[in-house]
């Protein structure tokens, strides 16, 4: 509410280009001073940074999709501030500080798990991994600040800013009142309880699979056909948010891997008779269905993921050129501006930004030289050159990509960084395990910098529309980055101890595995399944030529079947929710369903992290340990009973039905 008691609203020209001589006046005008950074907004921003760093890391390592925390944080902030006066700008700060979680996580999980995948944890430690994320986040903020005015103000109406628009609309809806936060919390608690009973208490299985039944095991053994579905609330919620089209594309990648390629390769172990000649590979007969997928099919998915990332960079070539034009034009306009700067356009002073950038780059050099094993001064300088050059070149690319389409081709740019750094480090005499660790840490710094610049530009655009002081957002984003970097590093280490990132029962960590598969042969000279990678590369190109999103399909090929089938279930529910009714009814259902699904994602992912922490302490859901939950509850052996698989499917269907019915009921509210 404003001082007159009327509900605030966005100006009519918030999303369109301005006419000659027209000015944009934000929701809170320049001349009005309201609380922004308060103890309340700072504490809650940091709390959400910790919570959603853990949730995003868990979900990203499990399914390859980083959970965007901005909207759930915004909704929760609105719910907490329901009775506070002048809460709008404080909620903007909570969102801005807390959303550091998602961008830092995206930078970390694409690279740092590779250290554990290659069993190189003895060559690194918590501080090294944390600093890689921290320094990368600082670089992303500092490189973006000089371009804030031109992305946010000068290009007003030129870019749609889809993520910033969504968060802004939620903030304005909160100003008008509503029970969004209650719906989000309720669905989050439901999802968390569902995960608790499954993962920690072991009352039903985490994954439904046909091999649990005698007929399913026979089918797998004879023709290599299996069906698996992970019963996680977070994943079905993510599928709902993604929508049917992309969920189906991802699932089709899995269906190709598990129902076409794996049986096709597996049948060679049994033998195929063609024109009277028996063709048989006896070694394949000794492998189960999962081993065939891991050894022969997954490398094709790795090649497809790598090529899809590079395709993303190529498709962004116009964005790259446009970013450089902005940089050139922006510097000239900045120098000509001069004079007194109004509050809503006040950035951190340029001398502070420049000094901070120099100090951060110096810290990067010292980090490589003194803290990375096997790195000398010359190699540290080479690493610094790679980090500074690529971060500077692609910071504006990441920001412009987010501003235009809401997605950041960070995985492709990170892959390019790893290849370049591997070649450069090898040229200056650093290779083998030490070279791999150095390359992964360099990649972690760059990946976080690019992810941060892309995410932060959305925060600044939200602040521009609503009238937040940019320098306040910029100043406190650093603290949010520190907290997020510490949190995500701790979560990665806990998840590695609890589950691991390679082998049976491990978290898939698809991007990190793809990065490792590419750089390990470059740094060690060891053979790699290049022909299988090449098959994936051509598959990604063919998908691109046919107009399908290559990265979505490639992730489906790489990830286990059980991860992608609940994504498809969520997408189908989203489709069914939208059937019938007027346009207003469909919009109400969509918004309600998205809110519930966001609660599923947040609550399920957070409980997944809690479950891993419980497992980290030595308490198991099942097993021979003294503190296994099944022994305490007297349910020993229950999860091996086929009836538990039936219960698993029933509980998952019940969860899906709740999402469907609650979303459809929005039209009645």
Round to whole Å and give the CA distance between 569 and 238.
Answer: 10
- Does pLDDT of 335 surpass 60? no
For residue range 259-296, list pLDDT tens digits in order: 988 888 888 877 777 777 777 777 777 777 778 887 78
For residue range 65-78, list pLDDT tens digits in order: 666 677 778 878 88
Res 47: pLDDT? 93
- Does pLDDT of 490 surpass 50? yes
**CA count, 13 A, side-chain hemisphere, 666:** 26
Mean pLDDT of 483-506: 85
Please give the residue that has the higher pLDDT: either 93 or 591.
93
Round to whole Å and give the CA distance between 642 and 79.
Answer: 43
- Does pLDDT of 5 surpass 50? no
Q: Exposed/middle/buried for 528, CB within 10 Å: 0-12, 13-18, 19+?
A: middle
Categorize the per-residue pLDDT at 406 as very low, low, confident or very high, splitting at 50, 70 and 90.
Answer: low
Res 660: pLDDT? 92
Categorize the per-residue pLDDT at 330 as very low, low, confident or very high, splitting at 50, 70 and 90.
Answer: very low
- Does pLDDT of 319 surpass 70? no
- pTM score: 0.73
Res 313: pLDDT? 63
Categorize the per-residue pLDDT at 331 as very low, low, confident or very high, splitting at 50, 70 and 90.
Answer: very low
Mean pLDDT of 327-353: 66
For residue range 116-131, list pLDDT tens digits in order: 888 888 778 889 889 9
Per mean pLDDT, which of 109-118, 174-183, 403-412, 627-636 is the most reliable? 109-118
Chain Cα centroid distance, residue 656: 23
- Does pLDDT of 389 surpass 60? yes
Res 178: pLDDT? 56
SS (H, E, C) 453-504: HHHHHHHHHHHHHHCCCHHHHHHHHHHHHHHHHHHHHHHHHHHHHHCCCCCC
Round to whole Å and give the CA distance between 536 and 306.
Answer: 9
Mean pLDDT of the chain: 80
* Helix (H) or strand (E) run with residue 517 in it: helix 510-524
Extract the tokens encoding 531: 């022909």
* Helix (H) or strand (E) run with residue 208 in it: strand 207-209
Mean pLDDT of 158-183: 70
Q: At 565, phi and psi to the nearest 5? A: -65, -40
Res 481: pLDDT? 94
For residue range 547-559, list pLDDT tens digits in order: 887 877 887 887 7
- How far are the Cα atoms of 344, 604, 608 from residue 396, in angstroms, in the given order? 22, 34, 35
Mean pLDDT of 218-233: 82
Which range among 222-226, 301-305, 399-403, 452-456 shows the weakest confidence by mean pLDDT? 399-403
DSSP letters spanning 592-630: HHHHHHHHHHHHHHHHHHHHHHHHHTT--SSSSSTT-HH
Mean pLDDT of 456-466: 89
DSSP letters spanning 427-461: HTT--HHHHHHHHHHHHHHHHHHHHHHHHHHHHHH
Residues 454 and 163: beta-carbon distance below 8 Å = no
Round to whole Å and give the CA distance between 261 and 297.
Answer: 7
Please give the residue that has the higher pLDDT: either 337 or 185.
185
For residue range 362-387, list pLDDT tens digits in order: 999 999 898 888 888 888 898 899 88
Extract the tokens encoding 576: 């069914």
Q: What is the dihedral of CA 227, 548, 69, 170, to 10 degrees?
A: -120
Q: Exposed/middle/buried for 23, CB within 10 Å: 0-12, 13-18, 19+?
A: exposed
Residues 340 and 410: beta-carbon distance below 8 Å = no
Res 58: pLDDT? 81
Categorize the per-residue pLDDT at 94 as very low, low, confident or very high, splitting at 50, 70 and 90.
Answer: very high
- Does pLDDT of 415 surpass 60? yes
Res 477: pLDDT? 94
Mean pLDDT of 480-501: 89
Res 333: pLDDT? 45
- Does pLDDT of 352 surpass 50? yes
Which range among 78-92, 590-604, 620-634 shows the weakest confidence by mean pLDDT? 620-634
- Does pLDDT of 507 surpass 90? no
Residues 144 and 524: beta-carbon distance below 8 Å = no
Res 316: pLDDT? 59
């Amino acid at each position: 509410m404003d001082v007159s008691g009327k509900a605030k609203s966005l100006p009519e020209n918030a999303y369109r280009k301005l006419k000659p001589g027209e000015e944009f006046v934000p929701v809170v005008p320049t001349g009005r001073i309201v609380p922004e950074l308060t103890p309340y907004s700072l504490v809650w921003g940091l709390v959400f940074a910790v919570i959603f760093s853990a949730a995003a890391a868990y979900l990203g390592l499990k399914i390859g999709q980083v959970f965007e925390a901005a909207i759930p944080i915004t909704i929760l902030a609105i719910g907490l501030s329901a009775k506070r006066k002048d809460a709008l700008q404080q909620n903007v700060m909570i969102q801005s500080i807390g959303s550091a979680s998602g961008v830092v996580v995206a930078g970390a999980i694409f690279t740092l798990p590779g250290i554990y995948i290659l069993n190189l944890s003895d060559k690194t430690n918590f501080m090294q991994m944390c600093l890689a994320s921290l320094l990368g986040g600082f670089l992303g903020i500092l490189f973006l600040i000089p371009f804030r005015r031109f992305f946010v103000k000068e290009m007003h109406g030129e870019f749609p800013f889809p993520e910033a628009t969504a968060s802004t609309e939620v903030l304005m809806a909160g100003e008008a009142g509503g029970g969004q936060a209650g719906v989000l919390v309720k669905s989050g608690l439901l999802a968390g309880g569902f995960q608790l009973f499954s993962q920690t208490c072991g009352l039903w299985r985490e994954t439904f699979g046909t091999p649990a039944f005698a007929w399913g095991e026979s089918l797998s053994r004879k023709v290599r056909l299996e069906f698996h579905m992970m019963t996680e609330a977070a994943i079905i919620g993510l599928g709902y948010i993604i929508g049917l089209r992309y969920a189906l594309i991802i699932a089709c990648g899995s269906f190709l891997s598990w129902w076409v390629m794996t049986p096709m390769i597996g049948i060679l172990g049994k033998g195929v008779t063609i024109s009277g000649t028996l063709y048989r590979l006896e070694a394949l007969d000794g492998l189960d269905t999962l081993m065939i997928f891991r050894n022969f099919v997954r490398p094709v998915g790795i090649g497809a993921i790598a090529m899809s990332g590079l395709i993303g960079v190529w498709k962004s070539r116009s964005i790259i050129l446009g970013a450089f034009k902005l940089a050139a034009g922006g510097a000239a306009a900045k120098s000509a501006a001069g004079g007194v700067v109004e509050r809503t356009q006040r950035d951190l002073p340029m001398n502070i930004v420049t000094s901070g950038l120099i100090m951060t780059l110096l810290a990067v050099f010292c980090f490589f030289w003194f803290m990375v094993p096997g790195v000398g001064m010359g190699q540290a300088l080479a690493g610094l050159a790679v980090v500074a050059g690529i971060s500077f070149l692609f910071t504006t690319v990441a920001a412009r990509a987010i501003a235009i389409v809401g997605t950041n081709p960070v995985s492709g740019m990170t892959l390019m960084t790893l290849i370049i750094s591997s070649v450069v480090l090898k040229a200056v005499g650093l290779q083998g395990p030490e070279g791999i660790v150095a390359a992964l840490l360099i990649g972690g710094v760059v990946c976080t910098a690019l992810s941060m610049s892309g995410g932060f530009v959305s925060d600044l655009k939200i602040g521009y529309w609503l009238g937040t002081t940019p320098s306040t957002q910029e100043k406190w984003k650093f603290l949010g980055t520190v907290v997020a970097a510490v949190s995500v590093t701790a979560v990665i280490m806990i998840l590695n101890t609890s589950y691991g990132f390679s082998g049976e029962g491990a978290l898939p960590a698809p991007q990190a595995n793809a990065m490792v598969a590419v750089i390990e042969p470059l740094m060690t000279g060891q053979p790699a399944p290049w022909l299988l990678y090449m098959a994936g590369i051509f598959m990604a190109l063919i998908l691109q030529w046919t107009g399908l999103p290559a990265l979505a399909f490639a992730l489906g090929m790489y990830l286990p079947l059980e991860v992608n089938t609940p994504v498809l279930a969520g997408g189908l529910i989203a489709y069914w929710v939208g059937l019938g009714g007027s346009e207003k009814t469909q919009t109400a259902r969509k918004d309600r369903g998205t809110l519930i699904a966001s609660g599923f994602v947040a609550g399920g992912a957070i409980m997944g992290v809690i479950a891993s922490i419980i497992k980290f302490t030595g308490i198991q859901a099942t097993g021979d340990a003294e503190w296994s939950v099944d022994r305490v509850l007297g349910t020993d052996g229950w999860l091996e009973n086929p009836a538990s698989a039936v219960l698993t499917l029933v509980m998952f269907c019940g969860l899906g039905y709740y999402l469907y019915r609650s979303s459809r009921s929005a039209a009645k509210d």
